[in-house]
Amino acid sequence: MASASRATPDKLPAWQTLKQHAEELKGVHLKTLFGSDQSRWSNFTRQVAGLTLDLSKQRWDDDTLEHLLALAHDAGVPGAIDSLLSGKRVNVSENRPALHTALRLPADATLNVEGEDIVAGVHESLAQMERLVCRLHAGQWRGATGKPIRHVVNLGVGGSDLGPLMVTHALADCRPDDIHPVEVHFASTMDGSQLADYLSRFNPETTIFVLSSKSFTTIDTLSNANTARDWLLGRLTQQGDFVSTPAVSAELIVRQHFIGVSASPQKMSEWGIAPDHQLTFWEWVGGRYSLWGTIGLPIALVIGMDHFRELLAGAHAMDRHFREAPMEDNLPVLLALAGIWNVNFLDIRAHSILPYDGRLEYFAAYLEQLEMESNGKSVTRQGQAVSYSTCPVLWGQLGPNAQHAFYQLLHQGTQPVVCDFIAPLKRYDEVEDPDTRRHLKSQHRLALANCFAQSRVLMLGDDALEDDGPRPEHKRYRGNQPSTTVLLDKLTPHSLGALIALYEHKVFVQAVIWDINPFDQWGVELGKQIATDTQAIIDGEGDVSRMDASSRGLIEAFWAAEQN
Ligand code: F6P
Protein backbone atom coordinates (compact mmCIF):
# COMPACT_ATOMS: atom_id res chain seq x y z
CA MET A 1 0.00 0.00 0.00
CA ALA A 2 1.00 3.60 -0.16
CA SER A 3 3.35 4.79 2.56
CA ALA A 4 1.85 5.40 5.97
CA SER A 5 2.76 9.09 5.89
CA ARG A 6 0.99 9.78 2.61
CA ALA A 7 -1.38 12.74 2.37
CA THR A 8 -5.07 11.84 2.27
CA PRO A 9 -6.36 11.88 -1.33
CA ASP A 10 -8.26 15.14 -0.94
CA LYS A 11 -4.96 16.90 -0.19
CA LEU A 12 -3.30 15.66 -3.39
CA PRO A 13 -2.97 18.20 -6.23
CA ALA A 14 -4.76 15.89 -8.70
CA TRP A 15 -7.80 15.77 -6.38
CA GLN A 16 -8.08 19.55 -6.50
CA THR A 17 -7.68 19.53 -10.27
CA LEU A 18 -10.42 16.92 -10.53
CA LYS A 19 -12.73 19.00 -8.31
CA GLN A 20 -12.37 21.91 -10.66
CA HIS A 21 -12.66 19.75 -13.73
CA ALA A 22 -15.85 18.15 -12.35
CA GLU A 23 -17.43 21.61 -12.01
CA GLU A 24 -16.85 22.12 -15.73
CA LEU A 25 -18.11 18.68 -16.72
CA LYS A 26 -21.06 18.36 -14.32
CA GLY A 27 -23.41 20.26 -16.62
CA VAL A 28 -22.40 18.33 -19.74
CA HIS A 29 -24.85 15.60 -20.75
CA LEU A 30 -23.49 12.21 -21.80
CA LYS A 31 -25.11 12.60 -25.20
CA THR A 32 -23.02 15.74 -25.74
CA LEU A 33 -19.86 13.85 -24.79
CA PHE A 34 -20.71 11.20 -27.36
CA GLY A 35 -21.65 13.81 -29.95
CA SER A 36 -18.34 15.59 -29.64
CA ASP A 37 -16.06 12.54 -29.65
CA GLN A 38 -16.52 9.88 -32.31
CA SER A 39 -13.76 7.75 -30.85
CA ARG A 40 -15.21 7.21 -27.37
CA TRP A 41 -15.65 3.47 -27.89
CA SER A 42 -12.00 2.95 -28.84
CA ASN A 43 -10.75 5.52 -26.30
CA PHE A 44 -12.56 4.05 -23.34
CA THR A 45 -12.75 0.33 -24.10
CA ARG A 46 -10.11 -2.25 -23.17
CA GLN A 47 -9.91 -6.03 -23.53
CA VAL A 48 -8.08 -8.69 -21.57
CA ALA A 49 -8.54 -12.35 -20.58
CA GLY A 50 -11.78 -12.80 -22.52
CA LEU A 51 -13.33 -9.64 -21.05
CA THR A 52 -14.21 -6.38 -22.76
CA LEU A 53 -14.57 -3.39 -20.46
CA ASP A 54 -16.57 -0.55 -21.99
CA LEU A 55 -16.19 2.64 -19.96
CA SER A 56 -17.31 4.95 -22.75
CA LYS A 57 -20.68 5.60 -21.11
CA GLN A 58 -19.07 7.10 -18.02
CA ARG A 59 -19.58 10.83 -17.68
CA TRP A 60 -15.96 11.64 -18.32
CA ASP A 61 -13.61 12.68 -21.10
CA ASP A 62 -9.93 12.24 -21.97
CA ASP A 63 -8.88 15.01 -19.56
CA THR A 64 -10.80 13.39 -16.72
CA LEU A 65 -8.99 10.14 -17.23
CA GLU A 66 -5.64 11.89 -17.37
CA HIS A 67 -6.32 13.64 -14.04
CA LEU A 68 -7.59 10.40 -12.47
CA LEU A 69 -4.46 8.56 -13.59
CA ALA A 70 -2.39 11.34 -12.01
CA LEU A 71 -4.39 10.87 -8.79
CA ALA A 72 -3.72 7.13 -8.88
CA HIS A 73 -0.01 7.79 -9.33
CA ASP A 74 0.10 10.35 -6.53
CA ALA A 75 -1.81 8.00 -4.25
CA GLY A 76 0.83 5.31 -4.82
CA VAL A 77 -1.28 2.79 -6.70
CA PRO A 78 1.62 1.16 -8.65
CA GLY A 79 3.62 0.55 -5.47
CA ALA A 80 0.53 -0.67 -3.64
CA ILE A 81 -0.20 -3.24 -6.37
CA ASP A 82 3.32 -4.54 -5.94
CA SER A 83 2.94 -4.68 -2.16
CA LEU A 84 -0.33 -6.62 -2.44
CA LEU A 85 0.96 -9.18 -4.92
CA SER A 86 4.32 -9.68 -3.24
CA GLY A 87 2.82 -10.41 0.17
CA LYS A 88 3.56 -7.25 2.16
CA ARG A 89 1.42 -6.73 5.26
CA VAL A 90 -1.20 -4.63 3.48
CA ASN A 91 -3.87 -5.50 6.05
CA VAL A 92 -2.53 -3.00 8.55
CA SER A 93 -5.11 -3.34 11.31
CA GLU A 94 -4.54 -7.11 11.47
CA ASN A 95 -0.86 -6.84 10.59
CA ARG A 96 -0.83 -9.47 7.84
CA PRO A 97 -0.68 -9.83 4.06
CA ALA A 98 -3.78 -10.34 1.92
CA LEU A 99 -2.66 -13.09 -0.37
CA HIS A 100 -5.72 -14.41 -2.18
CA THR A 101 -3.73 -13.94 -5.39
CA ALA A 102 -1.25 -16.57 -4.14
CA LEU A 103 -4.07 -19.12 -4.18
CA ARG A 104 -4.16 -18.89 -7.96
CA LEU A 105 -0.44 -18.95 -8.68
CA PRO A 106 0.61 -21.85 -10.91
CA ALA A 107 2.45 -24.73 -9.25
CA ASP A 108 5.79 -23.78 -10.82
CA ALA A 109 5.67 -20.22 -9.47
CA THR A 110 7.48 -19.10 -6.35
CA LEU A 111 6.38 -16.47 -3.89
CA ASN A 112 8.61 -15.79 -0.93
CA VAL A 113 6.67 -14.22 1.88
CA GLU A 114 8.71 -13.26 4.90
CA GLY A 115 11.35 -15.85 4.05
CA GLU A 116 9.06 -18.73 3.06
CA ASP A 117 7.90 -19.91 -0.37
CA ILE A 118 4.17 -20.36 0.07
CA VAL A 119 3.25 -21.81 -3.34
CA ALA A 120 3.96 -25.46 -2.49
CA GLY A 121 1.62 -25.26 0.52
CA VAL A 122 -1.11 -23.73 -1.63
CA HIS A 123 -0.89 -26.60 -4.10
CA GLU A 124 -0.76 -29.21 -1.36
CA SER A 125 -4.03 -27.84 0.03
CA LEU A 126 -5.57 -28.00 -3.46
CA ALA A 127 -4.37 -31.59 -3.79
CA GLN A 128 -5.96 -32.45 -0.46
CA MET A 129 -9.23 -30.89 -1.60
CA GLU A 130 -8.97 -32.82 -4.86
CA ARG A 131 -8.67 -36.11 -2.96
CA LEU A 132 -11.96 -35.43 -1.16
CA VAL A 133 -13.63 -34.33 -4.39
CA CYS A 134 -12.47 -37.51 -6.16
CA ARG A 135 -13.84 -39.72 -3.39
CA LEU A 136 -17.22 -38.03 -3.58
CA HIS A 137 -17.28 -38.03 -7.39
CA ALA A 138 -16.34 -41.71 -7.47
CA GLY A 139 -19.13 -42.59 -5.04
CA GLN A 140 -16.46 -43.89 -2.67
CA TRP A 141 -17.32 -41.59 0.21
CA ARG A 142 -19.81 -43.56 2.26
CA GLY A 143 -22.14 -42.32 4.95
CA ALA A 144 -22.16 -43.99 8.37
CA THR A 145 -24.60 -46.64 7.15
CA GLY A 146 -22.47 -47.45 4.10
CA LYS A 147 -24.35 -45.63 1.37
CA PRO A 148 -22.69 -43.31 -1.19
CA ILE A 149 -23.30 -39.60 -0.69
CA ARG A 150 -25.97 -37.84 -2.70
CA HIS A 151 -26.33 -34.41 -1.04
CA VAL A 152 -23.55 -32.09 0.15
CA VAL A 153 -24.77 -29.10 2.16
CA ASN A 154 -22.36 -26.21 2.63
CA LEU A 155 -22.92 -24.51 5.97
CA GLY A 156 -21.22 -21.12 5.89
CA VAL A 157 -22.02 -17.44 5.67
CA GLY A 158 -20.51 -14.32 4.09
CA GLY A 159 -17.30 -15.21 2.32
CA SER A 160 -17.76 -18.86 3.30
CA ASP A 161 -21.02 -18.94 1.35
CA LEU A 162 -21.42 -16.19 -1.23
CA GLY A 163 -18.40 -16.93 -3.45
CA PRO A 164 -19.05 -20.69 -3.71
CA LEU A 165 -22.81 -20.07 -4.09
CA MET A 166 -22.27 -17.53 -6.87
CA VAL A 167 -19.71 -19.60 -8.80
CA THR A 168 -21.50 -22.95 -8.53
CA HIS A 169 -24.64 -21.30 -9.87
CA ALA A 170 -22.78 -19.52 -12.67
CA LEU A 171 -20.91 -22.63 -13.82
CA ALA A 172 -23.49 -25.35 -13.13
CA ASP A 173 -23.39 -26.40 -16.78
CA CYS A 174 -19.66 -27.24 -16.45
CA ARG A 175 -20.51 -30.27 -14.34
CA PRO A 176 -18.42 -33.31 -15.41
CA ASP A 177 -20.54 -36.11 -16.95
CA ASP A 178 -18.96 -39.23 -15.63
CA ILE A 179 -19.31 -38.73 -11.87
CA HIS A 180 -21.46 -40.14 -9.14
CA PRO A 181 -24.33 -37.64 -8.92
CA VAL A 182 -23.60 -35.37 -5.96
CA GLU A 183 -25.84 -32.35 -5.49
CA VAL A 184 -24.45 -29.31 -3.70
CA HIS A 185 -26.66 -27.05 -1.56
CA PHE A 186 -26.08 -23.99 0.60
CA ALA A 187 -27.48 -23.03 3.99
CA SER A 188 -26.30 -19.76 5.49
CA THR A 189 -29.07 -18.14 7.48
CA MET A 190 -28.93 -18.40 11.26
CA ASP A 191 -32.70 -18.71 11.49
CA GLY A 192 -32.37 -22.23 10.08
CA SER A 193 -34.95 -21.84 7.32
CA GLN A 194 -32.74 -23.08 4.47
CA LEU A 195 -31.43 -25.94 6.57
CA ALA A 196 -34.92 -26.92 7.76
CA ASP A 197 -35.98 -27.34 4.15
CA TYR A 198 -33.07 -29.69 3.42
CA LEU A 199 -33.60 -31.67 6.62
CA SER A 200 -37.23 -32.21 5.67
CA ARG A 201 -36.29 -33.59 2.25
CA PHE A 202 -32.91 -35.35 2.40
CA ASN A 203 -32.01 -38.81 3.54
CA PRO A 204 -29.52 -38.48 6.42
CA GLU A 205 -27.75 -41.65 5.27
CA THR A 206 -26.68 -40.00 2.02
CA THR A 207 -26.18 -36.39 3.17
CA ILE A 208 -22.97 -34.78 4.36
CA PHE A 209 -22.29 -31.26 5.59
CA VAL A 210 -19.33 -29.01 4.87
CA LEU A 211 -18.70 -26.65 7.79
CA SER A 212 -17.09 -23.67 6.07
CA SER A 213 -15.85 -21.01 8.40
CA LYS A 214 -12.49 -19.29 8.36
CA SER A 215 -12.73 -18.49 12.08
CA PHE A 216 -14.86 -21.51 13.03
CA THR A 217 -16.53 -19.26 15.59
CA THR A 218 -19.35 -17.81 13.48
CA ILE A 219 -22.59 -18.44 15.35
CA ASP A 220 -24.68 -18.52 12.14
CA THR A 221 -22.68 -21.47 10.82
CA LEU A 222 -22.18 -23.23 14.13
CA SER A 223 -25.89 -23.08 14.98
CA ASN A 224 -26.72 -24.68 11.61
CA ALA A 225 -23.96 -27.23 12.19
CA ASN A 226 -25.29 -28.19 15.61
CA THR A 227 -28.81 -28.62 14.23
CA ALA A 228 -27.45 -30.78 11.39
CA ARG A 229 -25.43 -32.92 13.81
CA ASP A 230 -28.45 -33.50 16.06
CA TRP A 231 -30.56 -34.38 13.04
CA LEU A 232 -28.03 -36.97 11.89
CA LEU A 233 -27.52 -38.41 15.35
CA GLY A 234 -31.26 -38.56 16.00
CA ARG A 235 -31.99 -40.28 12.71
CA LEU A 236 -29.04 -42.61 12.39
CA THR A 237 -28.42 -43.80 15.93
CA GLN A 238 -31.89 -45.25 16.34
CA GLN A 239 -33.38 -47.83 14.07
CA GLY A 240 -36.55 -46.64 12.48
CA ASP A 241 -38.46 -47.05 9.25
CA PHE A 242 -36.30 -44.37 7.67
CA VAL A 243 -32.97 -46.06 8.25
CA SER A 244 -32.43 -49.37 6.58
CA THR A 245 -29.34 -50.58 8.45
CA PRO A 246 -28.56 -51.17 12.13
CA ALA A 247 -27.80 -48.21 14.36
CA VAL A 248 -24.29 -46.77 14.11
CA SER A 249 -22.10 -44.92 16.59
CA ALA A 250 -22.25 -41.17 17.07
CA GLU A 251 -18.52 -40.98 16.44
CA LEU A 252 -18.81 -42.67 13.06
CA ILE A 253 -21.70 -40.42 12.09
CA VAL A 254 -19.80 -37.22 12.85
CA ARG A 255 -16.72 -38.61 11.13
CA GLN A 256 -18.51 -39.65 7.93
CA HIS A 257 -20.99 -36.79 7.62
CA PHE A 258 -18.90 -33.68 8.27
CA ILE A 259 -16.04 -32.03 6.42
CA GLY A 260 -14.53 -28.88 7.93
CA VAL A 261 -12.91 -26.00 6.05
CA SER A 262 -11.23 -23.41 8.24
CA ALA A 263 -8.05 -21.53 9.12
CA SER A 264 -8.33 -23.08 12.60
CA PRO A 265 -7.66 -26.86 12.67
CA GLN A 266 -7.79 -26.75 16.43
CA LYS A 267 -11.36 -25.43 16.50
CA MET A 268 -12.39 -27.97 13.86
CA SER A 269 -10.98 -30.76 16.04
CA GLU A 270 -12.71 -29.40 19.13
CA TRP A 271 -16.02 -29.48 17.25
CA GLY A 272 -15.38 -33.09 16.28
CA ILE A 273 -14.27 -32.94 12.64
CA ALA A 274 -11.96 -35.89 11.93
CA PRO A 275 -8.42 -34.67 11.13
CA ASP A 276 -8.42 -36.29 7.69
CA HIS A 277 -11.70 -34.55 6.86
CA GLN A 278 -10.31 -31.12 7.67
CA LEU A 279 -9.29 -28.73 4.90
CA THR A 280 -7.32 -25.75 6.03
CA PHE A 281 -6.24 -22.37 4.74
CA TRP A 282 -4.35 -19.40 6.02
CA GLU A 283 -5.11 -16.29 8.07
CA TRP A 284 -3.70 -14.29 5.17
CA VAL A 285 -6.71 -15.20 3.02
CA GLY A 286 -9.58 -12.81 3.76
CA GLY A 287 -13.01 -14.47 4.09
CA ARG A 288 -14.54 -12.60 1.15
CA TYR A 289 -11.47 -13.42 -0.95
CA SER A 290 -11.40 -17.11 -0.09
CA LEU A 291 -13.28 -18.93 -2.84
CA TRP A 292 -9.98 -19.68 -4.62
CA GLY A 293 -8.79 -22.23 -2.07
CA THR A 294 -10.40 -24.89 0.08
CA ILE A 295 -13.47 -22.72 0.76
CA GLY A 296 -14.06 -23.43 -2.95
CA LEU A 297 -14.75 -27.11 -2.18
CA PRO A 298 -18.44 -26.82 -3.22
CA ILE A 299 -17.28 -25.25 -6.50
CA ALA A 300 -14.86 -28.11 -7.20
CA LEU A 301 -17.63 -30.59 -6.35
CA VAL A 302 -19.94 -29.02 -8.92
CA ILE A 303 -17.53 -28.23 -11.77
CA GLY A 304 -14.70 -30.72 -11.12
CA MET A 305 -11.06 -29.98 -10.36
CA ASP A 306 -10.05 -29.35 -13.98
CA HIS A 307 -12.60 -26.57 -14.30
CA PHE A 308 -11.69 -25.31 -10.83
CA ARG A 309 -8.10 -24.93 -12.01
CA GLU A 310 -9.35 -23.01 -15.09
CA LEU A 311 -11.17 -20.65 -12.73
CA LEU A 312 -7.87 -20.10 -10.90
CA ALA A 313 -6.05 -19.63 -14.22
CA GLY A 314 -8.54 -16.96 -15.30
CA ALA A 315 -8.04 -15.07 -12.06
CA HIS A 316 -4.29 -15.43 -12.39
CA ALA A 317 -4.43 -14.00 -15.92
CA MET A 318 -6.13 -10.93 -14.45
CA ASP A 319 -3.54 -10.77 -11.64
CA ARG A 320 -0.73 -10.70 -14.19
CA HIS A 321 -2.48 -8.02 -16.18
CA PHE A 322 -3.02 -6.04 -12.98
CA ARG A 323 0.67 -6.23 -12.16
CA GLU A 324 2.07 -5.68 -15.67
CA ALA A 325 -0.28 -3.44 -17.67
CA PRO A 326 0.34 0.30 -17.64
CA MET A 327 -2.25 2.11 -15.59
CA GLU A 328 -3.97 3.65 -18.62
CA ASP A 329 -4.65 0.14 -19.97
CA ASN A 330 -5.13 -1.63 -16.68
CA LEU A 331 -8.73 -2.84 -16.41
CA PRO A 332 -9.02 -2.96 -12.61
CA VAL A 333 -7.36 0.46 -12.31
CA LEU A 334 -9.68 1.99 -14.91
CA LEU A 335 -12.78 0.44 -13.35
CA ALA A 336 -11.68 1.76 -9.96
CA LEU A 337 -11.04 5.24 -11.33
CA ALA A 338 -14.51 5.37 -12.88
CA GLY A 339 -15.88 4.63 -9.41
CA ILE A 340 -13.73 7.29 -7.74
CA TRP A 341 -14.87 9.83 -10.32
CA ASN A 342 -18.53 9.03 -9.74
CA VAL A 343 -18.41 8.93 -5.95
CA ASN A 344 -16.00 11.73 -5.16
CA PHE A 345 -16.45 14.18 -8.00
CA LEU A 346 -19.91 13.63 -9.52
CA ASP A 347 -21.50 12.79 -6.13
CA ILE A 348 -23.05 9.57 -7.42
CA ARG A 349 -23.24 7.26 -4.41
CA ALA A 350 -25.50 4.48 -5.63
CA HIS A 351 -24.18 1.67 -7.79
CA SER A 352 -26.24 -1.11 -9.33
CA ILE A 353 -24.92 -4.45 -10.64
CA LEU A 354 -27.01 -5.84 -13.48
CA PRO A 355 -26.01 -9.13 -15.12
CA TYR A 356 -27.95 -10.15 -18.24
CA ASP A 357 -27.41 -13.87 -17.79
CA GLY A 358 -29.43 -15.94 -15.33
CA ARG A 359 -26.34 -17.91 -14.39
CA LEU A 360 -24.98 -14.77 -12.73
CA GLU A 361 -27.96 -14.54 -10.38
CA TYR A 362 -25.80 -14.29 -7.26
CA PHE A 363 -23.11 -12.04 -8.70
CA ALA A 364 -24.60 -8.86 -7.25
CA ALA A 365 -24.94 -10.43 -3.79
CA TYR A 366 -21.33 -11.55 -4.01
CA LEU A 367 -20.15 -8.06 -4.99
CA GLU A 368 -22.23 -6.47 -2.24
CA GLN A 369 -20.03 -8.22 0.31
CA LEU A 370 -16.81 -7.82 -1.67
CA GLU A 371 -17.21 -4.08 -2.14
CA MET A 372 -19.14 -2.90 0.88
CA GLU A 373 -17.46 -5.08 3.51
CA SER A 374 -14.07 -4.14 2.05
CA ASN A 375 -14.52 -0.44 1.45
CA GLY A 376 -17.40 0.54 3.73
CA LYS A 377 -14.88 2.36 5.92
CA SER A 378 -14.60 5.86 7.31
CA VAL A 379 -11.14 6.03 8.87
CA THR A 380 -7.82 6.14 7.06
CA ARG A 381 -5.16 3.51 7.47
CA GLN A 382 -3.64 5.79 10.11
CA GLY A 383 -6.92 5.93 12.02
CA GLN A 384 -8.09 9.42 11.08
CA ALA A 385 -11.69 10.13 10.08
CA VAL A 386 -11.98 10.61 6.33
CA SER A 387 -13.45 13.83 5.00
CA TYR A 388 -14.61 12.37 1.67
CA SER A 389 -16.97 9.61 0.59
CA THR A 390 -15.79 6.03 0.23
CA CYS A 391 -17.72 2.96 -0.95
CA PRO A 392 -21.08 3.71 -2.58
CA VAL A 393 -24.24 1.78 -1.74
CA LEU A 394 -24.14 -1.20 -4.05
CA TRP A 395 -27.01 -3.49 -4.93
CA GLY A 396 -28.27 -5.41 -7.88
CA GLN A 397 -30.26 -8.19 -9.41
CA LEU A 398 -30.50 -9.91 -12.77
CA GLY A 399 -30.94 -7.05 -15.22
CA PRO A 400 -33.95 -8.46 -17.12
CA ASN A 401 -35.86 -8.94 -13.85
CA ALA A 402 -34.73 -5.60 -12.46
CA GLN A 403 -36.19 -3.95 -15.59
CA HIS A 404 -39.57 -4.88 -14.12
CA ALA A 405 -38.65 -3.87 -10.60
CA PHE A 406 -36.35 -0.91 -9.93
CA TYR A 407 -35.37 0.40 -13.39
CA GLN A 408 -38.18 2.94 -13.08
CA LEU A 409 -36.04 4.72 -10.48
CA LEU A 410 -32.97 4.51 -12.71
CA HIS A 411 -34.84 6.15 -15.58
CA GLN A 412 -37.07 8.68 -13.87
CA GLY A 413 -36.18 8.83 -10.18
CA THR A 414 -34.24 11.58 -8.47
CA GLN A 415 -31.15 9.54 -7.55
CA PRO A 416 -28.12 9.48 -9.78
CA VAL A 417 -27.05 5.83 -10.06
CA VAL A 418 -24.15 4.23 -11.90
CA CYS A 419 -24.84 0.79 -13.37
CA ASP A 420 -22.59 -2.12 -14.31
CA PHE A 421 -24.11 -4.18 -17.13
CA ILE A 422 -22.54 -7.63 -17.44
CA ALA A 423 -23.23 -10.13 -20.23
CA PRO A 424 -21.62 -12.94 -22.23
CA LEU A 425 -21.41 -12.52 -26.00
CA LYS A 426 -21.78 -16.17 -26.94
CA ARG A 427 -24.17 -18.67 -25.44
CA TYR A 428 -25.98 -21.95 -26.09
CA ASP A 429 -23.64 -23.32 -28.81
CA GLU A 430 -23.43 -26.61 -26.93
CA VAL A 431 -27.20 -27.28 -26.87
CA GLU A 432 -27.61 -30.43 -28.92
CA ASP A 433 -31.19 -30.22 -30.14
CA PRO A 434 -31.20 -27.75 -33.07
CA ASP A 435 -34.68 -26.37 -32.39
CA THR A 436 -34.03 -25.79 -28.73
CA ARG A 437 -30.65 -24.25 -29.58
CA ARG A 438 -32.27 -21.87 -32.07
CA HIS A 439 -34.91 -20.78 -29.54
CA LEU A 440 -32.41 -20.34 -26.74
CA LYS A 441 -29.98 -18.43 -28.94
CA SER A 442 -32.77 -16.10 -29.91
CA GLN A 443 -33.55 -15.59 -26.20
CA HIS A 444 -29.89 -14.78 -25.65
CA ARG A 445 -30.09 -12.15 -28.43
CA LEU A 446 -33.20 -10.78 -26.76
CA ALA A 447 -31.34 -10.44 -23.46
CA LEU A 448 -28.37 -8.73 -25.13
CA ALA A 449 -30.68 -6.37 -27.02
CA ASN A 450 -32.25 -5.38 -23.71
CA CYS A 451 -28.88 -4.98 -22.05
CA PHE A 452 -27.56 -2.71 -24.79
CA ALA A 453 -30.87 -0.82 -25.04
CA GLN A 454 -30.99 -0.08 -21.32
CA SER A 455 -27.51 1.37 -21.11
CA ARG A 456 -28.31 3.44 -24.22
CA VAL A 457 -31.56 4.81 -22.79
CA LEU A 458 -29.88 5.54 -19.48
CA MET A 459 -27.27 7.48 -21.40
CA LEU A 460 -29.37 9.31 -24.00
CA GLY A 461 -32.75 9.56 -22.33
CA ASP A 462 -35.45 10.70 -24.76
CA ASP A 463 -32.86 11.12 -27.49
CA ALA A 464 -32.66 7.33 -27.84
CA LEU A 465 -35.88 7.72 -29.85
CA GLU A 466 -35.09 9.07 -33.27
CA ASP A 467 -38.56 10.49 -33.74
CA ASP A 468 -38.95 12.31 -30.46
CA GLY A 469 -42.10 14.42 -30.72
CA PRO A 470 -43.58 16.48 -27.88
CA ARG A 471 -44.38 14.42 -24.79
CA PRO A 472 -45.82 15.11 -21.36
CA GLU A 473 -43.32 15.40 -18.51
CA HIS A 474 -44.25 12.05 -16.96
CA LYS A 475 -43.17 10.33 -20.17
CA ARG A 476 -39.82 12.06 -20.43
CA TYR A 477 -36.45 10.42 -19.76
CA ARG A 478 -33.59 12.65 -18.74
CA GLY A 479 -30.81 10.11 -19.44
CA ASN A 480 -27.29 11.08 -18.37
CA GLN A 481 -26.99 8.08 -16.01
CA PRO A 482 -23.48 6.69 -16.42
CA SER A 483 -22.79 3.00 -16.87
CA THR A 484 -20.07 0.45 -17.47
CA THR A 485 -20.55 -2.62 -19.62
CA VAL A 486 -18.46 -5.74 -19.08
CA LEU A 487 -18.76 -8.29 -21.88
CA LEU A 488 -17.44 -11.82 -21.48
CA ASP A 489 -16.58 -13.61 -24.73
CA LYS A 490 -18.32 -16.56 -23.13
CA LEU A 491 -19.11 -17.46 -19.53
CA THR A 492 -16.49 -20.10 -18.71
CA PRO A 493 -14.50 -20.95 -15.58
CA HIS A 494 -11.61 -18.95 -17.04
CA SER A 495 -13.58 -15.81 -17.87
CA LEU A 496 -15.49 -15.93 -14.58
CA GLY A 497 -12.20 -16.18 -12.69
CA ALA A 498 -10.94 -13.12 -14.56
CA LEU A 499 -14.19 -11.23 -13.92
CA ILE A 500 -14.09 -11.85 -10.16
CA ALA A 501 -10.41 -10.89 -9.97
CA LEU A 502 -11.19 -7.72 -11.94
CA TYR A 503 -13.62 -6.63 -9.24
CA GLU A 504 -11.34 -7.73 -6.38
CA HIS A 505 -8.55 -5.55 -7.73
CA LYS A 506 -10.89 -2.67 -8.47
CA VAL A 507 -11.86 -2.69 -4.78
CA PHE A 508 -8.19 -2.70 -3.79
CA VAL A 509 -7.26 0.25 -6.04
CA GLN A 510 -10.15 2.29 -4.67
CA ALA A 511 -9.05 1.48 -1.12
CA VAL A 512 -5.53 2.66 -1.91
CA ILE A 513 -6.83 5.96 -3.25
CA TRP A 514 -9.22 6.43 -0.34
CA ASP A 515 -6.37 5.46 2.03
CA ILE A 516 -8.50 2.85 3.82
CA ASN A 517 -7.86 -0.80 4.68
CA PRO A 518 -10.07 -3.05 2.51
CA PHE A 519 -9.05 -6.24 4.31
CA ASP A 520 -10.62 -5.87 7.75
CA GLN A 521 -14.28 -5.66 8.82
CA TRP A 522 -14.33 -4.32 12.37
CA GLY A 523 -17.72 -2.76 11.68
CA VAL A 524 -19.46 -6.11 12.04
CA GLU A 525 -18.07 -6.93 15.47
CA LEU A 526 -20.21 -4.71 17.70
CA GLY A 527 -23.41 -6.14 16.25
CA LYS A 528 -22.20 -9.68 17.05
CA GLN A 529 -21.36 -8.71 20.64
CA ILE A 530 -24.64 -6.95 21.29
CA ALA A 531 -26.53 -9.88 19.73
CA THR A 532 -24.90 -12.19 22.28
CA ASP A 533 -26.00 -9.90 25.14
CA THR A 534 -29.47 -9.62 23.63
CA GLN A 535 -29.79 -13.37 23.34
CA ALA A 536 -28.99 -13.73 27.03
CA ILE A 537 -31.74 -11.23 27.83
CA ILE A 538 -34.24 -12.97 25.53
CA ASP A 539 -33.38 -16.24 27.29
CA GLY A 540 -34.18 -14.58 30.63
CA GLU A 541 -30.57 -14.36 31.79
CA GLY A 542 -30.14 -10.59 31.65
CA ASP A 543 -31.77 -7.38 32.74
CA VAL A 544 -34.25 -6.15 30.14
CA SER A 545 -34.84 -2.92 32.08
CA ARG A 546 -31.33 -1.75 31.09
CA MET A 547 -32.41 -1.57 27.48
CA ASP A 548 -33.83 1.30 25.47
CA ALA A 549 -37.63 1.44 25.18
CA SER A 550 -37.78 0.13 21.62
CA SER A 551 -35.53 -2.88 22.19
CA ARG A 552 -37.37 -3.67 25.42
CA GLY A 553 -40.72 -3.43 23.61
CA LEU A 554 -39.53 -5.82 20.89
CA ILE A 555 -38.28 -8.39 23.39
CA GLU A 556 -41.48 -8.16 25.42
CA ALA A 557 -43.51 -8.68 22.24
CA PHE A 558 -41.51 -11.86 21.62
CA TRP A 559 -42.06 -13.09 25.19
CA ALA A 560 -45.79 -12.37 24.86
CA ALA A 561 -45.91 -14.37 21.59
CA GLU A 562 -44.15 -17.27 23.30
CA GLN A 563 -46.84 -17.39 26.00
CA ASN A 564 -49.63 -17.89 23.43
O1 F6P B 1 -18.95 -11.15 10.09
C2 F6P B 1 -18.33 -10.91 8.89
C3 F6P B 1 -17.50 -12.08 8.47
O4 F6P B 1 -16.38 -12.15 9.29
C5 F6P B 1 -17.10 -12.03 7.02
O6 F6P B 1 -16.02 -11.23 6.79
C7 F6P B 1 -16.88 -13.47 6.74
O8 F6P B 1 -16.86 -13.73 5.36
C9 F6P B 1 -18.07 -14.07 7.45
O10 F6P B 1 -18.22 -13.29 8.61
C11 F6P B 1 -17.92 -15.52 7.81
O12 F6P B 1 -16.83 -15.72 8.63
P13 F6P B 1 -16.24 -17.16 8.88
O14 F6P B 1 -15.78 -17.69 7.58
O15 F6P B 1 -15.13 -16.97 9.85
O16 F6P B 1 -17.34 -18.00 9.44
* DSSP per residue, 490-552: E--HHHHHHHHHHHHHHHHHHHHHHT--TT--GGGHHHHHHHHHHHHHHTT-S-GGGS-HHHH
Which ligand 1 atom is at minimum distance from the Cα of 218? 16
Q: Is 158 in the pocket of ligand 1 (CB under 6 A)?
A: yes
Q: Is 218 in the pocket of ligand 1 (CB under 6 A)?
A: yes
Q: Is 384 in the pocket of ligand 1 (CB under 6 A)?
A: no
Q: Rounded to the nearest whole angstrom, what is the distance from the C-alpha of residue 213 to the centroid of ligand 1?
A: 7
pLDDT, position 422: 98
SS3 456: helix
Q: Is 214 in the pocket of ligand 1 (CB under 6 A)?
A: yes
Q: Is 373 known to be catalytic? A: yes
pLDDT, position 409: 98
Q: What is the pLDDT along the chain (564 residues), one digit of tens a residue?
A: 544 567 899 999 999 999 999 999 999 999 999 999 999 999 999 999 999 999 999 999 999 999 999 999 999 999 999 999 999 999 999 999 999 999 999 999 999 998 999 999 999 999 999 999 999 999 999 999 999 999 999 999 999 999 999 999 999 999 999 898 999 999 999 999 999 999 999 999 999 999 999 999 999 999 999 999 999 999 998 655 555 556 789 999 999 999 999 999 999 999 999 999 999 999 999 999 999 999 999 999 999 999 999 999 999 999 999 999 999 999 999 999 999 999 999 999 999 999 999 999 999 999 999 999 999 999 999 999 999 999 999 999 999 999 999 999 999 999 999 999 999 999 999 999 999 999 999 999 999 999 999 999 999 999 898 776 788 999 999 999 999 999 999 999 999 999 999 999 999 999 999 999 999 999 999 999 999 999 999 999 999 999 999 999 999 999 999 998
- Tens-place pLDDT, residues 48-93: 999 999 999 999 999 999 999 999 999 999 999 999 999 999 999 9
Q: Which residues of 241-278 are buried (b: 16+ CB within 10 A; e: fewer)?
A: eebeeeebeeeebbebbbbbbbbbeebbeebbbbeebb
Give the ipTM of the model, two decimals please.
0.99
CB 484 within 8 A of CB 53: yes
User: Which residues are paired to 420 by β-bridges?
Assistant: 353, 484
Q: Rounded to the nearest whole angstrom, what is the distance from the C-alpha of residue 218 to the centroid of ligand 1?
A: 7
pLDDT, position 242: 53
pLDDT, position 246: 62
